[in-house]
Amino acid sequence: MKATAIERYIVFDVETPNSANDRISSIGVVVVEGQSIVREFYTLVNPETHFDAFNISLTGISPEDVADKPTFAEAWADLAPIFSSGMLIAHNAPFDMSVLAKCLNAYQIEWQPYAYYACTCQMGRKCFPHAQNHKLNTLCTMLHIPLEQHHCALDDAKACAGLLIHYLKQGCDPTDYVRSYDIANTCTEKRASGMRRAQPSETTLRLQTLQMILKSISADGVLTSEEVMVLERWMTENQELEGNYPFDKVFRTVRQATQDGILDAREKEELLDLFTRITDPVGQTECGCFDIRGKVFCLTGEFKAGGRSQVEAYFVAQGGIAGKSVTKKTGYLIVGELGSDMWSSGNYGSKVKKAMELQEKGSSIVIVKEGEASITL
């Protein structure tokens, strides 16, 4: 049986108020750790838009039911920590991912530029190619998985979690089905200038998987010996990634910590700090004294303050020296708070990745968040 390194899955289902499918009237979330359900979350949502009669009939949710319920922006305050803590799973996932992305964009909520997900419908097609069909209720009936009320978001999420657990017990690895969803452009495969984007290389996909593993095992702020063992086993099976950052750094550090067969509290804390810095280098960085004068700087991402050319001109006026790429001469990499459409893997982009590689080699380059740079245009 093939063991999967991801140990936390966020299974969710959304219901919508009308055929536009760009707002949510209810959302159900089930957290699966290992092969067990550990948490459930459900809320009705005021979509602040009209309801179609068909959707009311399908979901049983009417405008009156949600009149005093939280808006999506209000509900997201509770949902964001959950959705950020593991791989997203849904049945017919592109639909749920699309609705989620449209809501995030409509409410101008900054989360992350890409989200990684897998679909239990796609897994079902692979595991049961001769099933009558691969709808949620059909597969649940076939596998004797409870589905109490179809199109109730929580019941559908629980049923989807049941399918996921069944697949896991059969040795199915959801990372084999992982896809990247472009939140800003609401699509799985991003397109540029009307052309299909080249598929990421096998190396890139595996590095993305490593990012998800690190994020999954560090999300709760606690690292166990079992989680480190699973990570080490995965990295041992993927040693062809040697020579790529951050694989080398993680593999070397994990091997040093586990060579005596014992992981003490200090080693776990150091590993957790490393994993957190790698999976969220921008969020974890802190610049105590920002002084641009005479320093080469480079910009990445999109800025709240204004266009990148305006931001660059501002820092030049402050005495900075603009650079187009990250090099050994770069003093500051300044990261816009609106993210970027060029993220290469995980939740940061190629320039941040290059800066981290240089830091690893002893460079004094500093990664600075837009808010710490005090930009006033």
Query: Beta-carbon neighbour count of residue 129 at 10 Å?
Result: 8
Question: What's the token pair of residue 37?
Answer: 């359900």
Strand order in the sheet with 114-119: 36-44, 26-33, 8-15, 87-90, 114-119, 179-182
pLDDT in tens, 138-174: 999 999 999 999 999 999 999 999 999 999 999 888 8
Local confidence band at 201 (pLDDT 50, 70, 90 cut-offs)? low
Question: What's the token pair of residue 108?
Answer: 């101008």
Closest CA to 90 of 101, 105, 74: 101
SS (H, E, C) 100-161: HHHHHHHCCCCCCCEEEEEEHHHHHHHHCCCCCCCCHHHHHHHHCCCCCCCCCHHHHHHHHH
Hey, which residues does 296 pair with through a beta bridge?
321, 330
pLDDT in tens, 222-246: 888 888 988 998 899 888 888 877 8
Give, in words, the CATH class of 8-195: alpha beta
Closest CA to 118 of 180, 35, 32, 165: 180
Picking from 66-75, 198-207, 328-337, which range would have the lowest pLDDT averaged per residue? Answer: 198-207
What does pTM read for this prediction?
0.55
CATH of range 285-373; options 3.40.640.10, 3.40.50.10190, 3.40.50.12280, 3.50.50.60: 3.40.50.10190
pLDDT at 120: 96
